[in-house]
Amino acid sequence: MGTLIQNGIVVTAAGQQRADVLIEDELIVQVGAGIPAVEHQIVEATDLLVMPGGIDVHTHLDMPFGGTVSADDYRTGTIAAAVGGTTSVIDFALQSRGHTLREALDTWLAKSKDKACLDYSLHMAVTDLGTDGKSLSEMEEMVAEGISSFKLFMAYPNVLMIDDGLMFQVMQKAASINALCCIHAENGSAIDVVVAQYIAEGRTAPHFHAHSRSAKAEAEATHRAIALAEMTGCAVYIVHLSNEEALRELRHAQAHYSRALAETCTQYLVLSIEDQMPGKSWEEAKFVFTPPLREKRNQEPLWEALTDGSLSVVSTDHCPFRFADQKSLGKDDFTRIPNGGPGIENRLQILWHFGVNSGRLTPEKFVELCCTNPAKIFGMTQKGELKPGKDADVLLWDPNAEYTIQAATQCMATDYNMFEGWTVRGNASKVFSRGELVVDKGKWIGQTGRGRFIKRVANGGGTV
């Protein structure tokens, strides 16, 4: 006996059709019209869209930052993701300087153990080459463990930033093992000079965080990262691309280098420095994240880049901190405000409402950006598609459901929401993870700790 999702509109990146989806155990076994009901359990989906579960490839759960730890752990973070229609996440393990990649992996696997409620994977952030370049040989071990993407920071000097020589060596190694390099592209050295000058001048309010990190600094680093990648032949993926200038560099590179990919995040599509950070109040600390919010004029070019394929993925960079007792660490100095915002729960709602309802994106494009491309680029061979043999991670989406986003009713462990009070149309109705109904009517009903680590393949960002 299986579960038969009957009469929904099945939406994939390639098209839509009214069809049934048959799930047996953890897998999809059949997709098509008129699958016999026999003794299957029936899930009626006549008014719903049936899509692959969302994949959020950029999250920071239980992550130490700036003297505190991000507010969602693997339990609350993955439950919030699931309630919003996401069925897999890729989080980041961070190498501490002077320590090995293996230690970082062990640390993050311990954080997720018995807590992750959805299937999850990790990118490995390389911050130090180690003695005799040990990190480079460890990259092969990581790929064997199923970690096929490596994060490099061009920002945060003294903490996470690596110089160009180190980045180049990691890229050379990545090219040789078909791994993907994910880049936080901002010129951290220049930005830190501006930041220090602002603080010395007494410009300490939250919105100076945004003004101190220019779009040009992101564009410059985007150009440099892709140029170095191209010199080595490695596949490169720019994370959280936030503005038109950086986009111009990306497109320029993509015209001759097919292994240059990028994502943007929900917040850059709908929030802006004008609306959220006009420099009027301490409340603006809620929107201190990096890269910062940009001027509104950047939003439409980002939407266009999703449509034309320059940007391949929409993620969240979910890195939640509570306003009351965590953001407050930077009350008198924006450099001490923990960088990050909560968003894992609302990605699909926001993208559907402002993307599909507005006519900017087709439902097929929505699936491509949120589900199929993430699986393909990051080597998640069992995820991201509704096809026989794939994991039954299935999202039943109600395109007519109206939902008002509120911190008071959210699952994320923050005391605020970046989209507070917004009413959106389109929401998750039921969510299956490996065949199990884990979200019904907006409520998590699965077991804590049921999530499994996903071993990803090294496929050069889907380009090999």
Interface residue list for Zn ion (CB under 5 A): 317
CA proximity to 80, closest of 348, 403, 459, 306: 348
* Pick 56 or 391: Cβ nearer Zn ion: 56
d(CA 153, CA 217): 13
**At its nearest, how many Å lie between Zn ion and the CB of residue 393?**
23
Which stretches of 192-329 are assigned E, i.e. beta strand?
235-238, 260-265, 313-315
CB of 340 to Zn ion, least distance (A): 7
* Whether 10 contacts 50, CB under 8 Å: yes
Count of CB atoms within 10 A of residue 241's CB? Answer: 26
Residue closer to Zn ion by CB (options 341, 355) is 341
Q: Which residues of 120-136 are buried (b: 16+ CB within 10 A; e: fewer)?
A: bbbbbbbbbebeeeebb
Chain position whose Cβ is nearest to Zn ion: 317
For Zn ion, the closer of residues 125 and 260 by Cβ is: 125
Tokens, residue 403? 């939902």
Q: Which is nearer to Zn ion, 178 or 187 (CB)?
A: 187
Q: Which tokens go with 88?
A: 């897999």
CA separation for the pair 115, 122 (Å, rounded): 15
Position 26, amino acid: E
Taking the least distance from each CB to Zn ion, the nearer of 70 and 232 is 70
CB of 255 to Zn ion, least distance (A): 27
Q: How far is the CB of 425 from Zn ion (least distance, A)?
A: 29
Which residue number, 92 or 352, has a Cβ lying nearer to Zn ion?
92
Least Å from the CB of residue 136 to Zn ion? 23
Q: How far is the CB of 318 from Zn ion (least distance, A)?
A: 8
Instruction: Compute the least distance from the CB of residue 369 to Zn ion, in Å.
Output: 18
DSSP string, 272-311: -HHHH-SS--GGGGGG--SSPP--GGGHHHHHHHHHHTSS
Residue closer to Zn ion, measured from CB, 232 or 339 = 339
Question: Pairing mode, if any, of strands 68-69 and 64-65?
Answer: antiparallel
